Amino acid sequence: MPLPLLLLLTTLSAAASTSGAASLSGAHSELHTYGFPSGLLPSNIKSHSINRTSGTFLVEFDATCRITLPPDNYVAWYSKRVTGKIVENKIGKIEGISVRAFYKWWGITGIKISGEDLVFEVGLVTAKYPKKNFGEVPQCEGGKHSSS
């Protein structure tokens, strides 16, 4: 096959495969690369960076963000800066995401993939939810880190 045609086809197929995910920002498609659903990060991402050697990453948001996690309606809160270390199927050393349970805020320290489930680690405690619950990128409900 002549090279220019091959290049054209490659370009076209690249365009086709990205257009399906046109609404996904870089950080959301980055999650897919590592095996995670894109719904783990809210939509208001300002910038992100990742070191592909170490897996350490930084995601910056326009503002703090509050979302309600399915299916138990736990309230999660994202600070303007979320950092951590991502490798295939595992995010560790997370800072900047908390979840409200038992009348307190708990830092989510890690998230793992286990088959069709996501396992959230809050210190030594874990909670498992189906990955498919996190298919949609959530919209922020507001930015108040309310303690009431």
Ligand X SMILES: *[C@@H]1O[C@H](CO)[C@@H](O)[C@H](O)[C@H]1NC(C)=O
Q: Would you tell me which residues interact with ligand X (CB under 6 A)?
A: 51, 53-54
Rounded CA separation 101/60 (Å): 25
* CB of 54 vs ligand X, minimal distance in Å: 3
The CB-of-56 to ligand X minimum distance in angstroms stands at 7
Burial class (CB in 10 A: 0-12, 13-18, 19+), 77: buried
Residue with Cβ nearer ligand X (19 or 53): 53
For residue 126, give every residue at least 6 positions away whose Cβ sits within 8 Å of its Cβ, in sequence order, or none.
119, 120
By beta-carbon proximity to ligand X, the closer residue of 47 and 54 is: 54
- At its nearest, how many Å lie between ligand X and the CB of residue 55? 8
Q: Which is nearer to ligand X, 33 or 68 (CB)?
A: 33
Report DSSP state, residue 142.
-
